[in-house]
Structure 1
Amino acid sequence: MLVNQVVRPLTKTESVFFLCVSILINAIGNALTVCLNLGSAMWTASSANLSYFIHVRLDLILIGFGTVIIVINCCLRHRVDWGRIAKNFIFMIPFSLLVQVFADAFSRWQIQGLSLGVRIGLDLFGIVLIGMAVSIYQRVNVILHPNDDFMQTLRFDYCHGNAALAMWASYIPPAIVLVVAVIGTRQILAINIGTAFSLALQGSLVGWSDKLVFPRLKHQL
C-alpha cells in the first residue's frame, strides 16, 4: 500500500478486504458474460459449454475444472504443495459459487431481453470487470485461482518468463474441453465478441487497472 509515497506491506485486514472485493468483482463480470452469451473469457466460456453438454450446474463445473487444474499444476511442478492447494481452493470455491448466484440473478432480471447494443455493452463491461479483479488479486499476491496459478507455472517453469506464450499455452485445456462440448451438443455458447475482446485486451485491461483501480495498492512481494 502506498502511503506518503512509501510502499508498505498490506495488513491482514487489508489483504482480506482486497481479496474479497476482487473475488466479488470477478464473479459479477464472469456471470454477466455467461448470462448474456455474447462472449466470455476463455476459461468461463469452456465451462459454460461443458455445463450445457453434461447438464451440471456451472458452479460445480468451475470447481471441478479448477480441481483438475490443481492436479495438473502439481504434475507440472513435480511436487504437492498443500499450502498452495489450500489457497487455490480458498479462492476458487467462493468465486465459483458466486458466479452461479449472480448468473441466476441476472437471468431472473431478464437482461437477455435488453437491446443488442446494451447487451454488448454489458458483456464488454463484464470483461473489463474481470481484468480489474485480476489486477487487484495479483497485486495482493496472497492467493490465486488455480487457472492463474497454472499460467504462472507455465510462464516461469516452462516458458522462460514469456507471459504471452504462457497465456496461450494455458488456453490449451479449456480449448480441448470446449471442442469436445461443442461436438457433443452441436452448439457453441459464450463465444462471441466478448471472447475476442478478452483475448485481445485482457493484458492491457489488467495494466490499466493497476493504475486506475485502487492506485495506492502496489504489488506485494
Structure 2
Amino acid sequence: MTNRLTIRQQVFYFVVSIVINGIGNGLTVALNLGSALWTASAVNIAHASGLQLNLVMMLIALFAIIVNIFLRGHVSWRAILGNLIFTIPFSVLVGWSANFFRQTSVVNLPLPARVLLDFVGIEMIGVAISIYQRLNIVLHPTDEMMQLVRFKLLHGKAWAAQLASFMPPLAATLVTFMLTHQIFAINIGTIFSLLCQGFIIGFADRVIFPKLKHQRI
C-alpha cells in the first residue's frame, strides 16, 4: 500500500478512470463488435425475459452487491453506496460516448480496423478498471466482485479472478440461449474480453500509474 492519498489525488485518479472507461465502453458499443460479458448477458436476459435492459442491468448490479456481501463477510453500506454512486457518471458518459462515436467515421471503417478499435476499447476498459480498483473508493458492483475474488480467494491473481467473476454472466447467457435458441451481443470483442481483460488489468496495475498501489484491501 502507498501512503494515504490526498483528496486531489483521489479525485484525479477517479475522474481519469471514469473517462477512460466511459470512452472505451462507448467505443465498443458504437462498433457493435462485442464488449464485456456482463453487458452481453444483460442484453440476452432482456431479450429472453422481455424486461427493459436498464432494469436488467440494475438487477445484475443488485445480484453483484449481494454476492459481494457474502464475499466480504459483512454488509458495508459505504461500499453499497459507492456502487450506486458509480453508475451515475459512468452511465451518462457511456451513453454520450457511444452516440459521439456513432456519428463519426469509425463505424464505417473496414472490418479489420473496427475489430482493432474494438480491442482498443476493451483495453481501455481494463486500464480504467485497474485504476479505480487500486483507488478503491467507489466501484461498479461487478468490478468490486472481481476485486474481492482476486484478493480474498485467488491471492491477487487478476486473470484468474476476472475469469472466475465472468462465470455468472456466462451461465446466464447459456441459460437464455437454451430458452430462446438465440444469442445477442456476443462477438469477437466479447471473446477478447473474456480471455484477455484480466491480463490487461494486471499489466495496467504495473505500468499505468505504477505508484498507485491498491488501497483499503
Deviation at 1:22, TM superposition (A): 0.6
State the SS of the aligned residue for 2:155. Answer: coil
Task: Report what 1:10 is aligned to.
Answer: 5
Identity of aligned residues (%): 46
RMSD: 2.8
TM-score, normalised by the number of residues in structure 1: 0.80
Q: 2:52 aligns with which of 51, 56, 71?
A: 56
1:131 paired with 2:126, answer yes
Q: Confirm or deny that 1:43 pairs with 2:38.
A: yes
Confirm or deny: 8 A CA contact 2:22 2:94 kept in the other structure.
Answer: yes
Task: Letter of the 2:7 partner, please give it.
Answer: K
User: Residues 125-146 of structure 1: CA distance to partner in whole angstroms, max 9, x if unpaired?
Assistant: 1011011101211221222221
Superposed counterparts of 1:140-159, under 5 Å: 140-157=135-152, 159=153
Give the counterpart letter for 1:136 in structure 2.
Answer: I
Report the Cα distance in structure 2 between the residues aligned to 1:108 and 1:181, rounded to whole angstroms.
32
8 Å contact 2:154–2:161 — kept in the other structure? no
Divergent runs of 4+, >6 A: none
Deviates more, 1:205-214 or 1:160-169: 160-169
Match in the other structure for 1:161: 155
**Structure 2 CA distance for aligned equivalents of residues 172 and 187 of structure 1:** 19
Q: 1:48 to 1:107 in 2, by over 3 A?
A: farther
Q: For 1:77-116, list aligned pairs within 5 A.
A: 77-109=72-104, 111-116=106-111
The 1:97–1:203 alpha-carbon spacing in structure 2 relative to 1, beyond 3 Å, is: same
Q: Which amino acid aligns with 1:35?
A: A
Residue 114 (structure 2) pairs with residue 119 (structure 1): yes
Whole-Å separation in 2 of the counterparts to 1:46 and 1:110:
28
Q: CA deviation at 1:123?
A: 0.2
**Aligned equivalents of 1:107, 1:182: Cα separation in 2:** 28
Contact 2:133 2:147 in 1 (8 A): no
Tell me the TM-score normalised to structure 2 length.
Answer: 0.81
Aligned residues: 214
Aligned counterparts of 2:34 and 2:195: Cα–Cα separation in 1: 13
- Contact between 2:162 and 2:197, CA under 8 Å: does it hold in 1? no
In the alignment, what sits opposite 1:206?
201
Structure 2 gaps of 5+ residues are none
Cα deviations by residue, 1:13-72 (Å, 9 ceiling, x for unpaired): 210221122112112212222222222122222223334553624x55433321221123
**1:90 Cα shift?**
1.7
2:23 to 16, 19, 28: 28
**Structure 1 pair 48/143, CA: closer, same or farther in 2 (3 Å)?**
same
Partner of 1:4: none
CA distance in structure 1 between the aligned counterparts of 2:108 and 2:178, rounded to whole angstroms = 28
Where 1:17 maps in the other structure, the secondary structure is helix
* Structure 1 contact 139–218 (Cα < 8 Å) conserved: yes
Post-superposition offset of 1:162: 6.5
C-alpha contact 2:30 2:102 (8 A) present in aligned 1: yes
User: CA-to-partner distance for each residue in 1:123-171, whole Å, 9 max, x for gaps?
Assistant: 01101101110121122122222112222333455x3537355433322
